[in-house]
Structure 1
């Protein structure tokens, strides 16, 4: 049972890290989608980038809180 908690804690931590990196990269380098994929899905308005920033911020907060909860479980009940 505790092994599942540890795996889940690590997965949530990694998801929080990835979404946090996506948040920062998109916030700083707004045209990365156009440069990386060679397409301009929002015709230069920046709406897609702001949507990605908002979604990544929400995902980072949610995954961070979930990971925090799981790590607390591991800390309270260490494996025997």
Structure 2
């Protein structure tokens, strides 16, 4: 369950950054990359990787929950 939530949050951040590349400046009122967009692209890459990793973890957990345990 936690993996699914983390994957969803990662996807949301990924899409948010792709749509509004200056959301950091708008939300926090700071410009850490002096308008180059480098920080936002780093966030896109990290969010994309995180979404894949958490999605795979959630899938693994879901499959493990479906496998019956034999004693």
- TM-score, length-scaled by structure 1: 0.83
Structure 1 unaligned residues grouped into runs of 5+: 1-9
Q: Distance in 2 between matches of 1:19 and 1:59?
A: 6
**Runs of 4+ displaced beyond 3 Å:** none
- TM-score, length-scaled by structure 2: 0.94
Q: Distance in 1 between matches of 2:68 and 2:6?
A: 23
Specify which structure has the higher proportion of helix. 1
Structure 2 unaligned residues grouped into runs of 5+: none
CA RMSD across the alignment: 1.0
